[in-house]
Structure formats: C-alpha cells, structure tokens
Amino acid sequence: MSASVERLEEKVAFLEQALQQLSDEHFAQQKELLDLKELVHALKEKLVNQSDSHDFSTQVDEKPPHY
C-alpha cells in the first residue's frame, strides 16, 4: 500500500474516533440539559406553591430600608 493511502486511513480512523467522542459528549450534555430543565420546572412549581400559601407580593415590591 502506498504511504499516502496509509496516511489517509490513519486520518479517517482518527476522525472517526474524534466524531464518536464528540457524539458521546453531546449526548451527555443533552441529558444534563434536560435534567436541569426538569429541575428548574420543579423549583418554579415549588416557588409558585409557596408564594400561593404566603403573601410575598408586598415584600417583593418594597425597597429595602437602605435605599
């Protein structure tokens, strides 16, 4: 086999490995993103439920005394 063909095969093998690593990382990041979205949704629901049971509207609108 010629040296140029061997070099091309090495490059292809390297690129296939790099592509697999990127694909695995992308999958992990997508899963983490979905988990974080679920967590944010759960925290929003918890906050809404807490604010329904307490009157925070006046506290949120008021400026702190140092202003």
Q: What integer pLDDT is reported at residue 67 of this predicted model?
A: 67
56 in any annotated domain: no
59 in any annotated domain: no
Cα-to-chain-centroid distance, residue 5: 41
Q: Which domain holds residue 9?
A: 3-51
Does the pTM surpass 0.85? The reply is no
Tally of structural domains, the chain: 1
**How do residues 9-64 score in pLDDT, each as one tens digit?**
999 999 999 999 999 999 999 999 999 999 999 999 999 998 877 765 555 667 77
30 in any annotated domain: yes
Residues in the chain: 67
Q: What integer pLDDT is reported at residue 60 of this predicted model?
A: 60
Q: What integer pLDDT is reported at residue 62 of this predicted model?
A: 73
